[in-house]
Amino acid sequence: MNTTLSTVRIPENLALFRKHNPKDHLGPEDLAHLDTKTIFYDIFINHSGKQLIAIGPPALNLYNYIHTTEVLIDGKRTAFSFRDLPEYKLSILTAKIESNKDIRLDIIFKDFKNTFTIEHNKTKSGKKILAAISKNNEPEWVATWAEFHRHNYNLDDVIVYDNGSENIEDLRHALDGKAHIIDWHFPYGPPGKRFNKFAQPGALNHCLKKFCHQGMLFNLDIDELLIAENTTLEKEAQRNGTVYIDSHNVPKTQNLTPPYTHYDFTLCHPERRKKARKFVCMEKSVDVISQHNTWKHSRLPLSKKLHRTKPEKLESDHAYFLHFLAITTNWQPSLGKLDIVEKSTLKNDSSHIERKP
């Protein structure tokens, strides 16, 4: 698997930057977390070998600057399509290429230029892949999450988009042979500002478009373990395109001494959350995804409109996931994930322990 990124960033010496999406009010402390300089996270060739794809954060005020760039493939000026999707926190550039081989790419902006060798995409089609973004999580947590899902759902691969962890070498050691790590060192976005957090939807869509051709993508975070019957889940996904999955919160009930993992918790809230669902989707059935939803294009000819798939119609008949609140770096302390909850309000659920590899 090619985990190297061909990234385009505005040079620091240029007084040009992305302004925030005005749907959020951002103060000075929020702006420090905004991705102001990334144009494209990665540029790659799709599985057909006939299309170049670049995925980036929403262009917003940079739209005209990006739209008027020049794209040269093997020295030949090439037409391209560029779509800015701020409501999905994403932008996508596509261009046709003539042959299924490595190419030389020159992308020329008004003030700077980048040149890349873009390799032919050798990833196999039809893979089942679990993907998540992660930063500074305990390596044992991430390894437990990866092993659990590999064992129970016959996954072909697990991809961790590492958002700049300080313990990266320990993480690489813990995940050796269990998962691939992609260095996704882009600003995550201001905490609590939904329209300006770009890194996570960028990572998920990157995985969908680059690695998941004709395959199945599992979207679950490091603190979440899926409880499902594998064959039934696959049939649901193949039938519906997207399967939404609801959850039970698993809170902290006592102080624990590290290291602890998901398997040290067996009590959860009895009620389903009915929000913040996750999903499993078929790549061929969706066009854009986010942390909690999938969208597909309208069936109308030439329409570029996207329609959100309906969670209320596509929720799994049997699956759910356990959301372990104490598996956290507590980077958003206001959420109270480490608050201790009275055991008498909870029910026992050892499903994950029964499925332990």
Following DSSP, what letter does each residue of 91-140 receive, concatenated? EEEEEE-SSSS-EEEEEE-SS-EEEEEEPP--PPSS-EEEEEEESS--HH
Does 143 share its domain with 224?
yes
CATH of the domain at 56: 2.60.40
Total structural domains in the chain? 2
pLDDT for residue 40:
98
Q: What is the mean pLDDT of residues 304-330?
A: 94
Residue 14, number of CB atoms within 10 A of its CB: 12
* Amino acid symbol at 2: N
Last residue of a domain, one of 100, 118, 136: 118
* One-letter-per-residue 3-state SS of 193-238: CHHHCCHHHHHHHHHHHHHCCCCEEEECCCCEEEECCHHHHHHHHH
Task: Determine the pLDDT at residue 156.
Answer: 98
On whether the CB atoms of residues 316 and 244 are closer than 8 A, the answer is yes
Would 156 be classed as within a structural domain? yes
What range does the domain containing 106 cover? 8-118
Confidence of residue 78 (pLDDT cuts 50, 70, 90): very high
Pair 94, 192 in one domain: no
- The pair of three-digit structure tokens given for residue 343, joined into one six-digit string: 């055991």
Least confident segment among 12-16, 42-46, 332-336? 332-336
> Three-state SS for 168?
helix
Q: What pLDDT is stored for residue 302 in this prediction?
A: 59
> What residue spans of the chain are helical by DSSP H?
28-31, 63-67, 139-153, 168-174, 199-211, 230-240, 311-314, 351-354
Cβ-proximal residues to 48 (8 Å cutoff; 6+ apart), any chain: 100
Three-state DSSP class for residue 328: coil
Look at residue 2 and tell me if it is in a domain.
no
Contact call for residues 250 and 206 (beta carbons, < 8 A): no
Residue 24 in domain? yes
CA 85 to chain centre: 16
The answer on 145 and 54 residing in a single domain is no
CB half-sphere exposure, 189, CA atoms < 13 A: 20
Tokens of 74: 């093997």
22-58 residue pLDDT tens: 999 999 999 999 999 999 999 999 988 899 999 999 9
CA 95 to each of CA 69, 85, 351: distance values in angstroms, whole numbers, following the listed order? 13, 17, 47
Same domain, 56 and 136: no
Judge contact between 42 and 7, C-beta under 8 A: yes
Same-domain status, 228 and 266: yes
Six token digits for residue 274: 């009915």
Which three-class secondary structure state does DSSP give residue 314?
Answer: helix
CATH of the domain at 288: 3.90.550
Q: Is residue 148 included in any domain, yes or no?
A: yes
Which of 85, 118, 151 terminates a domain? The answer is: 118
Residue 103 lies in a domain: yes
CA separation for the pair 21, 30 (Å, rounded):
12
Q: Is 73 a member of any domain? A: yes
What's the pTM? 0.96
Mark whether 53 and 136 lie in a shared domain. no
What residue has token string 């603190």?
223
Which residues lie closer than 8 Å to 275 by C-beta, 6 or more apart?
A: none
User: Is the same domain home to 149 and 92?
Assistant: no
Q: Which of 118, 145, 170 is where one domain is finished?
A: 118
Do 206 and 272 belong to one domain? yes
Q: Quick one: residue 318, left, alpha or beta (phi over 0 = left, psi -120 to 50 = alpha)?
A: alpha
Whether the ω angle into residue 191 lies within 30 degrees of 0, i.e. cis, is: no
Mean pLDDT of 118-129: 93
Task: Kindly state whether residues 38 and 114 are assigned to the same domain.
Answer: yes
pLDDT mean across residues, the chain: 96
pLDDT in tens, 246-303: 999 999 999 998 899 999 999 999 999 988 899 999 999 999 999 999 999 877 665 6
Q: Does the residue 3 lie in any domain?
A: no
101 and 145 share a domain? Answer: no
Residues 133 and 159 in one domain: yes
Q: Do 246 and 322 have their domain in common?
A: yes
123 within domain boundaries: no
